[in-house]
Amino acid sequence: MAKTRVGIINVTGYAGIELARLLWGHPEVKLTSVTGRSAAGHKLDDYFPHLAGTGLTIKEKLGECDLVFSAMPHKDSVAVIAPLLESGLKVVDISADFRLKDAAAYPLWYGFAHPLPNLLSQAVFGLPELHRDRIKKARLVANPGCYPTGAILALAPAVKEGIIGPDIVIDSKSGISGAGRTLNLTTHFAEADEDATAYALGGHRHLPEIVQELAALRPEPVPAVTFVPHLIPMTRGILTTAYATLTPGRLAEGSQGEEELLALYRDFYKNEPFVRVIGTSPHTKHTRGSNFCLIHPAIDHRTGRLCVIAAIDNLVKGAAGQAIQNMNLMLGLPETTGLTAPALFP
């Protein structure tokens, strides 16, 4: 039986590179076409020696495919995706161009008016843990952002079960690869090494994704989310710590409440192949190179607050790995195909 032909638009960014790495070892699909305007004409394994043996040439235009990943920057992706959909192809978009359901949010958060608002309702937000059944039937999947992936997974059980109030604080710390490969003074080695900084204090563009998905789990009261991202001097990984006030009476006092909380989280994610609810605080190194999300829920008994810590690899579960997880669902393959490798450690 012929393998499904897949292509990558813009293979030269970090998400595109990681897609190529993971797809090359996928047993049920064949990576047949990759594009990248800045590297057009180069052999993929010459341009990225760690991908030796692929034999592909980076081109300006996509070749014949059955499913396409777009790793274009936001605003640019929507223009290339529309013709692909019209030609009958399935698409997983790693940009933000189809994540938000409200077209009016794009000028506010991304600085452009969405040219195809009619497609926003058709696109499925690609977080399998929440939208698996819809992803299976989708032609266009909007891969979540890296920060929202960790934050939503950390909070979804608590929001869904109503054990917390609407006031939520999310603190996330990301490795520098999350900023992409474009040269930037902020991510220059001499600037970023031995440094840590918060940014986007007025509101990060991933915030509306988080609010959109949490509100869909429990619409009332509308979650009031403060989200503060931080840049720290490591290459990969996101560590998210989320805080919210516990609803009185929903959990028992003391250690029994802690046991109930852990049981609630484990029950919520009991059938999820890539979410592990663990009994200790996770490290980013525990997820490096893997598609797993590690979650540890805890209670601050002094203040009556929930404190949840989640760790992911921003380039795998936060981007390329989750995109392949979505692809597997769209193609009717076992969801874990090509994604079961454990994390690299140390």
**d(C-alpha 139, C-alpha 72), whole Å:** 18
CA distances 319 to 85, 233, 278, 292, Å, are: 21, 20, 23, 12
Determine contact, residues 169/242, Cβ cutoff 8 Å: yes
Copy the structure tokens of residue 314: 């921003």
For 291-312, b/e burial (b = at least 16 CB within 10 A) is bbbbbbbbbeeeeebbbbbbbb
Quick: pLDDT tens for 115-143.
999 999 999 999 999 999 999 999 999 99
* pLDDT at residue 37 is higher than 90: no
Which residues, at least 6 apart from 333, have a Cβ–Cβ distance to it below 8 Å?
28, 327
Quick: pLDDT tens for 162-220.
999 999 999 999 999 999 888 888 888 999 999 999 999 999 999 999 999 999 999 99
User: 3-state SS string over 307-334?
Assistant: EEEEEECCCHHHHHHHHHHHHHHHCCCC
Question: What is the pLDDT confidence band of residue 151, given thresholds at 50, 70 and 90?
Answer: very high
**d(C-alpha 3, C-alpha 232), whole Å:** 40
Q: What is the pLDDT of residue 118?
A: 93
Q: What is the pLDDT of residue 181?
A: 87
How many alpha carbons fall within 13 Å on the CB side of residue 2? 7
Quick: pLDDT tens for 91-116.
999 999 999 999 999 999 999 999 99
Share of the chain above pLDDT 90, in %: 94
**Catalytic residue chosen out of the listed positions 65, 146, 293, 307:** 146
**d(C-alpha 334, C-alpha 96), whole Å:** 26
Q: What is the pLDDT of residue 38?
A: 86
- 146 has catalytic annotation: yes
CA distances 242 to 97, 284, 286, 322, 345, Å, are: 26, 16, 19, 21, 25
The pTM of the full predicted model, rounded to 2 decimals, is 0.97
Average pLDDT, the chain: 96
Domains of the chain: 4-144+318-330 (3.40.50.720), 147-314 (3.30.360.10)
Q: What is the pLDDT of residue 2?
A: 86
**d(C-alpha 56, C-alpha 46), whole Å:** 10
Closest by CA to 264, choosing from 128, 142, 110, 157, is: 157
Closest by CA to 129, choosing from 213, 221, 9, is: 213
Classify 290 in phi/psi space as left (phi over 0), alpha (psi -120 to 50) or beta.
beta
**d(C-alpha 302, C-alpha 113), whole Å:** 46
3-state secondary structure of 229: strand
29-35 and 4-9 as β-strands: parallel, antiparallel, unpaired? parallel
Alpha helices for the chain (secondary structure H): 14-24, 44-47, 77-86, 105-110, 128-137, 146-160, 189-192, 207-217, 254-268, 321-330
Copy the structure tokens of residue 165: 């109030």
3-state secondary structure of 231: strand
Average pLDDT over residues 288-303: 98
Closest by CA to 89, choosing from 8, 14, 2, is: 8
**d(C-alpha 170, C-alpha 247), whole Å:** 18
Quick: pLDDT tens for 23-33.
999 999 999 99
Q: What is the pLDDT of residue 184?
A: 86
For 68-104, b/e burial (b = at least 16 CB within 10 A) is bbbbbebbebbebbeebbeeebbbbbbbbbbbbeebe
Q: What is the pLDDT of residue 8?
A: 98
Q: Alpha-carbon dihedral of residues 119, 38, 145, 192, nearest 10 degrees?
A: -160
